[in-house]
Amino acid sequence: MYIIVGLGNPGREYQNTRHNVGFMTLDILADRLNIEIKRHNFRAVFGEGYIGGTKVVLAKPETYMNLSGWSVMDLCNWYKPEHDQLIVIYDDIDIPLGTIRIRGNGSAGTHNGMRNIVYQLGYDDFPRIRVGIGRTDGERTLVSHVLGAPEGEERELLIKAMKDAADAAELIVKGEMKEAQARFNKKPKKEKKPREQQEENKEKAEGENEPKPEEA
């Protein structure tokens, strides 16, 4: 069996914020799998169901983000999954908006929720799916950025990333971690510098002006 934990903050005021992409991704999964996330225990709200023939628990900690580890520890103590049967989904400012990254283990990085989980569990060899929310544009503080709600095109990109994260979680449960990483761990195309773009445009123009063989 697998425990899939989405990180976020409880409460209506945090419902659609960037910091709650873990919760929102779980909602996407729950809707797909017809799982109701409404039971309260383990300092979380959770629901049980299946992906294929494998039992899964979808859980949203109610401890607030920075103490997520208490809930995850309670869940793991009760269900006793193997380390690689715990999947954590959360936001990451260091990943470009609209993209995701999947790792099978590793440090918690700068994310306070993940830091608390690793601290409480005492190990970090479990899969995690990071959903990119991008960095602040400079006009907002980091706190206002992560606790703000995206709009317009940004929201559309984030919804796509959360759907990708849900797909990745399903693949991991089905034993297809490498497939998930191959499909989603792609770096965004590097934007060309203005000079490089000018040179490319010039080459294209010169190519278009060259006489065709039959005209030579």
The verdict on whether 19 is a catalytic residue reads yes
In the numeric block, which tokens belong to residue 33?
């799998």
Q: What's the Rg (C-alpha) of the chain?
A: 21
Cα separation, 24 vs 18, whole angstroms: 10
Residue 144 CA to chain centroid, in angstroms? 20
Task: Give the three-state DSSP class for 132.
Answer: strand
Among 19, 40, 111, 145, the one annotated catalytic = 19
**C-alpha separations of 51 from 11, 106, 175, 208 in Å:** 28, 25, 11, 54
Active-site residues, by number, are 19
